Amino acid sequence: MANPKYEELPVLPLRGMLVFPGMVLHFDVARPRSIAALEAGMTANQRIVLLAQKKEEEEEPSSGDLYPTGTIVTVRQVMNLPGENVRVLVEGDVRGTVESFLENEDYLKARVRICKDRVVRSNEGKAMVLAAQNLFENYAKSSQKITPDMVEGLRSLEKPGEIADLLAAHVLQKWQEKQELLSELDPLRRLEKVCGVLLRETDLANAEREIQSRIRNSVERNQKDYYLREQLRAIQNELGEDEQEEEQGYRKRMEETPLSEEAKAKCAKEIDRLSHISPGSPEYIISETYIDWILDMPWGKETTDNLDLKRAREILDREHYGLEKVKERIIEYLAVLRMKQNMKGPILCFVGPPGVGKTSIVKAIAEAVDRKFIRMSLGGVRDEAEIRGHRKTYIGSMPGRIISGMKQAGSMNPVFLFDEIDKMSNDYRGDPASAMLEVLDAEQNNTFRDHYMEIPFDLSKVMFITTANSRETIPEPLLDRMEMIEVPSYTEEEKLQILKRHLLPKQLEAHGIRPDQVTMDEEIMRRMIEGYTREAGVRTLERTAARVCRKAAVYLLDHGTDSVNVDAERLHDFLGAVRYTREPLEKEARVGIVNGLAWTSVGGETLEVECIPMPGKGNLKLTGQLGDVMKESAEAAFSWVRAHSESLGLAEDFYTKTDIHVHLPEGAVPKDGPSAGITMTTALVSALTGRKVRQDVAMTGEMTLRGRVLPIGGLKEKTLAAYRAGIRTLIIPAENHKDLEEIPPEVLKHFTIKEVEEIQQVLETALLNEK
Range in contact with ligand ADP (rule: CB under 6 A) among 68-76, 355-363, 512-520, 689-697: 355-363
Q: Would residue 617 show up in a list of annotated catalytic residues for this protein?
A: no
Which residues, in sequence order, are CB contacts of 700 under 8 Å at separation 6+? 596, 597, 675, 676, 678, 679, 712, 715, 718, 731, 732, 733
The CB-of-170 to ligand ADP minimum distance in angstroms stands at 40
Site string for ligand ADP, 313-342 (x = CB under 6 A): -------xxxx-------------------
The one among 187, 354, 414, 592 contacting ligand ADP by CB under 6 A? 354
Q: Which is nearer to ligand ADP, 69 or 600 (CB)?
A: 600
Residue in 392, 551, 692, 718 annotated catalytic: 718
- Dihedral angle computed from the Cα positions of residues 741, 746, 748 and 750, in that order, rounded to the nearest 10 degrees: 180
- The DSSP output letter for 658 is E
Q: Are 72 and 93 in contact (CB under 8 A)?
A: yes
The CB-of-624 to ligand ADP minimum distance in angstroms stands at 27
Site string for ligand ADP, 542-561 (x = CB under 6 A): x-------------------
The CB-of-530 to ligand ADP minimum distance in angstroms stands at 18
The one among 502, 527, 663, 724 contacting ligand ADP by CB under 6 A? 502
| Environment class of 688 (CB within 10 Å of its CB; exposed 0-12, middle 13-18, buried 19+) | buried
Site string for ligand ADP, 357-386 (x = CB under 6 A): xxxx--------------------------
CA atoms within 13 A on the CB side of 411: 17
Sign of CA dihedral 444, 445, 451, 457: negative
The Cα–Cα gap between 532 and 544 comes to 8
Range in contact with ligand ADP (rule: CB under 6 A) among 73-81, 176-184, 352-360, 521-529: 352-360
**HEC readout, 309-336:** HHHHHHHHHHHCCCCHHHHHHHHHHHHH
Q: Which is nearer to ligand ADP, 389 or 488 (CB)?
A: 488
Q: Which is nearer to ligand ADP, 359 or 682 (CB)?
A: 359
Strand, coil or helix: what is 659? strand
Strand, coil or helix: what is 381? coil
The CB-of-418 to ligand ADP minimum distance in angstroms stands at 12
The CB-of-375 to ligand ADP minimum distance in angstroms stands at 10
Long-range contacts made by residues 231-240, C-beta under 8 angstroms, separation at least 24? 232/279, 233/279, 233/280
- Report the amino acid identity of residue 498: I
In the complex, which residue's CB is closest to ligand ADP? 357
The CB-of-352 to ligand ADP minimum distance in angstroms stands at 6
Residue in 34, 287, 675, 686 annotated catalytic: 675
- Under the binding rule (CB under 6 A), the answer on residue 69 touching ligand ADP is no
Whole-number Cα distances in Å, 446 to 24, 344, 368, 440 = 66, 11, 25, 10
The Cα–Cα gap between 680 and 621 comes to 13
Range in contact with ligand ADP (rule: CB under 6 A) among 101-109, 354-362, 682-690, 714-722: 354-362
Q: Are 154 and 167 in contact (CB under 8 A)?
A: yes
Q: Are 612 and 623 in contact (CB under 8 A)?
A: no
Q: Hey, which residues between 579 and 598 contact ligand ADP (CB under 6 A)?
A: none
Range in contact with ligand ADP (rule: CB under 6 A) among 140-148, 163-171, 532-540, 568-576: 532-540
- Which residue, 342, 316, 351, is CA-closest to 462? 342
Q: Which is nearer to ligand ADP, 498 or 725 (CB)?
A: 498
Q: Which is nearer to ligand ADP, 539 or 728 (CB)?
A: 539
The Cα–Cα gap between 347 and 464 comes to 6
- The DSSP output letter for 105 is S
- Under the binding rule (CB under 6 A), the answer on residue 763 touching ligand ADP is no
The CB-of-196 to ligand ADP minimum distance in angstroms stands at 27
Q: Are 385 and 430 in contact (CB under 8 A)?
A: yes
Q: Which is nearer to ligand ADP, 502 or 663 (CB)?
A: 502
The CB-of-552 to ligand ADP minimum distance in angstroms stands at 19
The one among 18, 385, 498, 648 contacting ligand ADP by CB under 6 A? 498
Q: Would residue 771 show up in a list of annotated catalytic residues for this protein?
A: no
Q: Which is nearer to ligand ADP, 272 or 472 (CB)?
A: 472
Q: Are 395 and 354 in contact (CB under 8 A)?
A: no
- Report the amino acid identity of residue 513: I
Q: Hey, which residues between 440 and 469 contact ligand ADP (CB under 6 A)?
A: 467
- Under the binding rule (CB under 6 A), the answer on residue 356 touching ligand ADP is yes
- Which residue, 579, 621, 608, 580, is CA-closest to 669? 608
- Under the binding rule (CB under 6 A), the answer on residue 488 touching ligand ADP is no
The CB-of-724 to ligand ADP minimum distance in angstroms stands at 17
- ∠ CA 47-51-56, nearest 5°, is 140
Q: Which is nearer to ligand ADP, 29 or 356 (CB)?
A: 356
- Which residue, 232, 233, 272, 226, is CA-closest to 250? 272
Q: Which is nearer to ligand ADP, 358 or 372 (CB)?
A: 358
Site string for ligand ADP, 384-413 (x = CB under 6 A): ------------------------------
Phi, psi angle pair for 37, to nearest 5°:
-60, -45
Query: How many of the chain's residues bind ligand ADP (CB under 6 A)?
Result: 18
- 377: which strand partners? 419
Q: Are 253 and 264 in contact (CB under 8 A)?
A: no
- Under the binding rule (CB under 6 A), the answer on residue 538 touching ligand ADP is yes
Catalytic residue numbers read 675, 718
Contacts with ligand ADP, residue ranges (CB under 6 A):
320-323, 354-360, 467, 498, 502, 537-539, 542
